[in-house]
Amino acid sequence: MTSSSVWHPFTQHALEPPITRIASTDGAYLIDEDGNRILDAISSWWVITHGHRHPAIMTAIREASEAYDQIIFAEFSHAPAEKLAEGLIRIAPPGLKHVFYSDSGSTAVEVALKMALGYFHNIGQSRDRIVVMEHGYHGDTIGTMSAGERGIFNAAYEPLLFGVDRLPFPETGMEQRTLDAFEASCRSGRVAALVIEPLVLGAGGMKMYEPQVLSGLKAIAERYDCLFVADEVMTGWGRTGPLFACEQAGISPDILCTSKGLTGGALPLAATLCTARIFDAHLSTDRRKTFFHSSSYTANPIACAAAVANLEIWRDEAVTERIQGLEAMHRQHLASFEGDERFTGIRQAGTIAALDLVVPTGGYLADVGPRMRRLFRERGLLIRPLGNVIYLMPPYCVTAGEVARAYDAIDEVASIVLGKPQ
C-alpha cells in the first residue's frame, strides 16, 4: 500500500491502517485494487439507493456530459434542473412548491435555516430561535453543527456555534415530554423553526421514534405558526419505507431537505423544498429581501440529470417491491437476536436495521466500534458501527443471501468482541 497525502473524513490516521483503494464499484459491492469484493452494507454512508453504477443513471451522466459542464445558476437555468424541480414537487409531500439546489446534506439544511430566519425577517416578525431534538445530526457546517448534538464532533468549534432550544428524545413511554417541551419553547413567541430528522436520528445512534410524535410536533408548530423543517437527507428515498419518512406521519413540512439518495448516490446534489409562503416572503421589488445564498456548483446540470434518471427509476422499476423485500429480510434476521443477551435495542425502520452491542462503555468513542469495523472488513463487509451501535442500511439491489451474510457476520463478530463462544 502506497503512502498518501489525502486527509480522510472521520478518520484518525494515527490509529488507522493505510486506507484501502477502491478500483471499481458494482451493484452492492466495492472492489479494491486486489480484486476483493466488499459488500457495501451501509450504502457508502447511506447515499447509494438502487446500487452502485445503476445503468440508467450512468447513461444519464454520460449523455449530460456531452452537452453540459457547469453553468452559473444565478444567471441561467437549464433543462435538467427544471425537469428535476418539477419531478420533486410532484412526488414530495403536498404543499411544497419551490426547489432551491445546493450540493450536500449539510448545505441543504443550512439553506433551510436561512430560509426560516429570512422568512420571519422579511415579514417583520422577530423570531430568532431554532428548536432541535437532542442526539440529532444535521451536518458539519457551522449552522448545522449548531443545530446538531454538542459533543466530540464539534467541541473544538464551540465558540463559533449559536444557541438552540433542545427537545428531549421521545423515548418509548415518554413521548409527551418531548411534545410538552416543544410547546413550552413555542410559547416564547421567538421560535422560527423546528429542525428535525423524521423517525430516525442517524449519526446520533440510529435512534428511532414513532410517527405519532412527528405528527404531534407538526400540530404544535402549526398552532404557534413556526416552521417545520424535515431533514430527510438520510431518511428520504425509501429508507424508512415510503419515499419520505414524513409520509408515515401524514404530515407535510414547510421545508424539506433532501440529498444522499437524490441522485441514487452517484453524484453530490441537494435540494431544499419549501412552501409558497416562504418563497413569497423573499419575492419583492426590494432587493434587500433577496435570498442571499449560493454555492459555485449550485444545480450542476450533470448531477441534475442523474437525479432526473433516479426519478425515472422510481417511476419505472419495482423499487417499492425491493424495499418491501429488504424490510422483510431485516425483520426475519432481527427476530433471531431477540432475547440474545449480547444485544439490546433491536430496532428497525423500513430498510434500516440497528441493534446495540452490550458493552461496559458505549457511545461513539467506544473501543468496540473500530474493532468491529476491522473484523467486518476481514469478512469482506463494509459495516461501520457507531460506537457500540451496529446498523445495516444496504442498497435496494442487495440479495437475500447477501443480507444473511451480513447478519451472520454480526453474530460472529459480536461473539469475538465480547469473548463469548458462539
- Shared domain for 308 and 335, answered yes or no, is no
- The model's pLDDT over 350-373, given as tens digits with 9 standing for 90+, comes to 999 999 999 998 778 878 999 999
- The model's pLDDT over 24-83, given as tens digits with 9 standing for 90+, comes to 999 999 999 999 999 999 999 999 999 999 999 999 999 999 999 999 999 999 999 999
- The model's pLDDT over 140-154, given as tens digits with 9 standing for 90+, comes to 999 999 999 998 889
Q: Are strands 381-382 and 37-40 parallel, antiparallel or unpaired?
A: parallel
- Per the CB < 8 A criterion, the answer to whether 231 and 113 are in contact is no
DSSP state of 49: S
**Assigned domain for 93 exists:** yes
- Shared domain for 198 and 106, answered yes or no, is yes
**Assigned domain for 101 exists:** yes
- Shared domain for 291 and 365, answered yes or no, is no
Domain with 412, as residue range(s), is 318-418
- Shared domain for 77 and 67, answered yes or no, is yes
pLDDT surpasses 70 at 180: yes
- Per the CB < 8 A criterion, the answer to whether 342 and 357 are in contact is yes
C-alpha cell at 286: 426590494
C-alpha cell at 374: 476491522
**With bands split at pLDDT 50, 70 and 90, how would you rate the model's confidence at 422?**
low
Hunting for cell 435495542 — which residue is that? Answer: 345
- Shared domain for 177 and 209, answered yes or no, is yes
- The model's pLDDT over 72-111, given as tens digits with 9 standing for 90+, comes to 999 999 999 999 999 999 999 999 999 999 999 999 999 9
- What integer best gives the mean pLDDT of the chain? 96
- Shared domain for 358 and 271, answered yes or no, is no
- Shared domain for 330 and 289, answered yes or no, is no
**With bands split at pLDDT 50, 70 and 90, how would you rate the model's confidence at 1?**
very low
- Total domain count for the chain? 2
CA distance 393 to 214: 22
- Share above pLDDT 90 across residues of the chain, in percent, rounded to a whole number: 95
CA distance 98 to 321: 30
- The model's pLDDT over 319-355, given as tens digits with 9 standing for 90+, comes to 999 999 999 999 999 999 999 999 999 999 999 999 9
- Shared domain for 305 and 372, answered yes or no, is no
- Shared domain for 312 and 337, answered yes or no, is no
Q: Which helix (H) or strand (E) holds 177?
A: helix 175-186
Residue-level pLDDT at 22: 97
pLDDT surpasses 60 at 165: yes
- Shared domain for 131 and 254, answered yes or no, is yes
Which CATH number covers residue 364? 3.90.1150.10
Compute the average pLDDT of residues 290-318.
Answer: 97
Amino acid present at 158:
E
- Shared domain for 372 and 358, answered yes or no, is yes
